[in-house]
């Protein structure tokens, strides 16, 4: 009998706390649900890229059925949608705001003497896991301007290595010094608002606050395109990009 008022008081305080937390978090949850999506298309006549001959590396040559592999510099889907395009928020994020770094690593695999994926984004400090599925000697050589270069051989028996990038940096190349045709590209960001298109050309950047943003689309040979876009709370806006081979001067 004497404990009942005390238990009621505790219950009330608990509810009050739940309500306060809900009230304080709700607007944030609500506003961080905006997205930008779109499709990247190739415009104009599709150039014929030279396929990658891997005769010099019998293991990889065999993995590709003894035929040259498709050149990954231009990956087109139905209707000339473009794969391997990195799209990211380049301006408009609140200054000074930090974003948690994912615990899961970004994985790059050397498979059939190709980097898979070919284009990838990673956050500053996030683990970058380098796999060697080929069972032959590879060499992973990053060519950043701002970050320390990582240049290390990966012998057949070393299946996995790991590194990370301490500074944000736009797209830079990763190459293999053993197999000169091997190439990949990495962008290092302070935020998670980036997306790489698959062959259908589609990208989605979600979890944004309402606001006006500049987004950039990048292709390894055709350069960058930017667009400004405003999203409201819980809104999904669409922004497409088109890349074309510049006209010869």
Partner 1 sequence: MTDKVVVAPTPHAAHEVHHEELGFWRKYVFSTDHKVIGIQYAVTGLLFLLFGFSLMMLMRWQLAYPGVPLPLIGALFGEARMPGGTMLPEFYNELGAMHGTIMVFLGVVPLAVGGFGNFVLPLQIGAPDMAFPKINMVSYWCLFLGGITMLGSFFIPGGAAQSGWTSYTPLADIAGTGQTFWLIGMIFLITSSLLGALNFITTTIQLRAKGLTFMRFPFFCWAQFVTAFLLLLAFPPLEAAGVMQLMDRVAGTSFFLPSGLVVSGQALTNAGGGNPLLWQHLFWFLAHPEVYVLILPGMGIVAEIIANNTRKPLWGYRSMVYSLVFLGFMSFIVWAHHMFMTGMGTTMAAFFQTTTMIISIPSVVILTALIISLWGGSIRFNTPMLFAVAFLPMFGIGGLTGLPLGLNIADIPLHDTYYVIAHFHYVVAPGTIFALMAGIYYWYPKATGRKMNETLGKIHFVGSLICMNVIFMPMFIIGLAGVSRRLFDAGTAYEFAQPTMHWNAVSSWGAWTLALFQLPFIFNFFWSLRKGETVGENPWQATTIEWSAPSPPPHGNFLGTPEAYRGPYEYSVPGAAKDFIPQYEA
For partner 1, the binding residues (CB under 8 A) are: 136-137, 139, 141, 143, 151-158, 160-162, 173, 175, 177
CA distances (Å), origin 9, targets 2, 13, 22: 13, 6, 20
Q: Which of residues 27 and 148 has its CB atom nearest to partner 1 in the complex?
A: 148
The candidate with the shortest Cα–Cα distance to 242, out of 40, 88, 73, is 40
Write down the least CB distance from residue 189 to partner 1, Å. Answer: 22
Write down the least CB distance from residue 85 to partner 1, Å. Answer: 21
Write down the least CB distance from residue 132 to partner 1, Å. Answer: 11
Q: How far apart are CA 116 and CA 219, in angstroms?
A: 16
Q: Which of residues 153 and 240 has its CB atom nearest to partner 1 in the complex?
A: 153
Q: How far apart are CA 177 and CA 111, in angstroms?
A: 15
Write down the least CB distance from residue 48 to partner 1, Å. Answer: 23
Q: Which of residues 34 and 57 has its CB atom nearest to partner 1 in the complex?
A: 57
Write down the least CB distance from residue 137 to partner 1, Å. Answer: 7
Q: Which of residues 31 and 136 has its CB atom nearest to partner 1 in the complex?
A: 136
Q: Which of residues 202 and 219 has its CB atom nearest to partner 1 in the complex?
A: 219
């Amino acid at each position: 009998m004497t404990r009942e008022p005390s238990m009621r008081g505790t219950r009330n305080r608990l509810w009050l706390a739940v309500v306060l937390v809900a009230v304080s978090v709700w607007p944030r949850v609500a506003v961080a649900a905006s997205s930008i999506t779109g499709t990247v298309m190739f415009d104009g006549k599709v150039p014929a890229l030279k396929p990658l001959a891997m005769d010099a590396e019998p293991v990889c040559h065999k993995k590709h059925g003894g035929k040259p592999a498709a050149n990954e510099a231009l990956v087109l889907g139905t209707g000339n949608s473009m794969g391997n395009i990195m799209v990211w928020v380049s301006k408009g994020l609140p200054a000074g705001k930090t974003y948690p770094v994912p615990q899961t690593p970004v994985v790059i695999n050397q498979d059939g003497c190709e980097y898979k994926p070919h284009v990838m984004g990673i956050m500053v400090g996030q683990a970058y896991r380098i796999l060697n599925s080929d069972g032959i000697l590879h060499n992973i050589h990053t060519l950043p301007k701002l970050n320390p270069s990582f240049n290390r051989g990966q012998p057949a028996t070393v299946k996995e290595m790991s590194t990370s990038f301490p500074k944000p940096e736009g797209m830079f190349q990763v190459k293999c010094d053993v197999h000169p045709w091997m190439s990949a590209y990495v962008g290092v960001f302070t935020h998670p608002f980036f997306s790489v298109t698959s062959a259908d050309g589609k990208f989605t950047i979600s979890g944004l606050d309402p606001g006006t943003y500049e987004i950039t689309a990048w292709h390894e040979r055709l350069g960058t395109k930017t667009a400004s876009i405003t999203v409201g709370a819980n809104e999904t806006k669409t922004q497409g990009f088109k890349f074309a081979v510049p006209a010869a001067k």
